[in-house]
């Protein structure tokens, strides 16, 4: 007797899985890719939440502690910049420990509630407490370049809106006995990106490896004898990346002597001329 094809085929039974077609495999792969993409998206979202919100929470807690400690020091008449504990450029004197508050920073353009304690040092741990003073650069009010770094997104983001500054805006640094008022350069043409007569712009975008902006005369490493009292602030650029650095240069405009925590009236008046 000749068997038919159906008779020759094995009995798969009622519970046997159907044979997958090419289209089934395509749909299977696409579903897998979709699930992977969804999972990756969730991971990225969680990373963003951590970097922007969670790190901000811990950074603000750390900054609050530094502020309170610095306020206590100033209220008691103790100045970490003036009692020999902080290493001056070229000095061998003992230094303030990294992460310790050394001065307060205000920018009227960024609002009346903008107030940060500057810490000594710029390593990761220091910058998670607040804007950090580059060790080896000048101190507030000194001839040379007082340089400060700060995070732009996450980890407290003290320099989040640094790009809002305009030529001529004031940047205020408070120590125990002095209030130093710097003005953002680029004032020659009321253009922050333009250079003043000394060849230094109010703002520039550089690569992360460009250390010349921290020289005593920014961008002029061959000039070993500075004559101006400058301040430089650096942060990542553009926002959410570290591809470049945005740099703001300012020059000392006025100095007010005032002990304690109360802001002098002339300094307070600056908030009436620069809206946030």
Close Cβ partners of 198 (under 8 Å, ≥ 6 residues apart): 217, 228
Under 8 Å between Cβ of 192 and 201: yes
Strands (E), 36-135: 101-106, 115-120, 132-133
d(CA 248, CA 181): 15
Which of these is catalytic: 151, 203, 237, 249?
Answer: 151
10 three-class SS: coil
How do the residues of the chain divide into helix, strand and coil, expressed in percent and rounded to 5?
Answer: 30, 20, 50
229 is catalytic: no
Which of these is catalytic: 109, 203, 229, 245?
Answer: 245
236 is catalytic: yes
71 is catalytic: no
Under 8 Å between Cβ of 201 and 184: no
d(CA 258, CA 39): 57
Nearest to 234 by CA among 121, 147, 155, 154: 147
Under 8 Å between Cβ of 152 and 162: yes
d(CA 107, CA 181): 10
Which of these is catalytic: 109, 183, 203, 236?
Answer: 236
Nearest to 118 by CA among 129, 162, 135: 129
Annotated catalytic residues are 151, 236, 245
């Amino acid at each position: 007797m000749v068997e038919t094809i159906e008779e020759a085929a094995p009995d798969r039974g009622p519970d046997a899985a159907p044979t997958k077609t090419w289209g089934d495999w395509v749909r299977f792969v696409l579903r897998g890719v979709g699930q992977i993409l969804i999972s990756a998206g969730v991971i990225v979202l969680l990373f963003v939440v951590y970097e922007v919100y969670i790190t901000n929470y811990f950074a603000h807690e750390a900054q609050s502690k530094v502020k309170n400690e610095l306020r206590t020091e100033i209220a008691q008449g103790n100045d970490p910049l003036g009692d020999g504990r902080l290493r001056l450029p070229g000095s061998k004197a003992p230094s303030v420990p990294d992460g310790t508050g050394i001065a307060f920073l205000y920018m009227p353009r960024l609002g009346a509630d903008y107030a940060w304690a500057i810490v000594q040092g710029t390593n990761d741990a220091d910058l998670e407490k607040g804007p950090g003073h580059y060790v080896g650069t000048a101190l507030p009010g000194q001839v040379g370049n007082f340089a400060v770094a700060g995070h732009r997104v996450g980890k407290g983001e003290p320099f989040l809106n640094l790009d809002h500054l305009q030529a001529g805006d004031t940047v205020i640094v408070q120590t125990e006995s002095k209030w130093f008022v710097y003005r953002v350069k680029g004032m020659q043409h009321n253009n922050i990106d333009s250079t003043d007569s000394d060849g230094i712009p109010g703002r520039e975008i550089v690569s992360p490896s460009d250390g010349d902006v921290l020289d005593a005369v920014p961008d002029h490493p061959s000039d070993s004898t500075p004559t101006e009292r400058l301040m430089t602030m650096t942060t990542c650029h553009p926002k959410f990346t570290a591809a470049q650095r945005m740099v703001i240069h300012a020059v000392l405009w006025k100095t007010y002597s005032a002990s304690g925590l109360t802001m002098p009236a002339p300094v307070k008046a600056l908030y009436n001329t620069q809206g946030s």
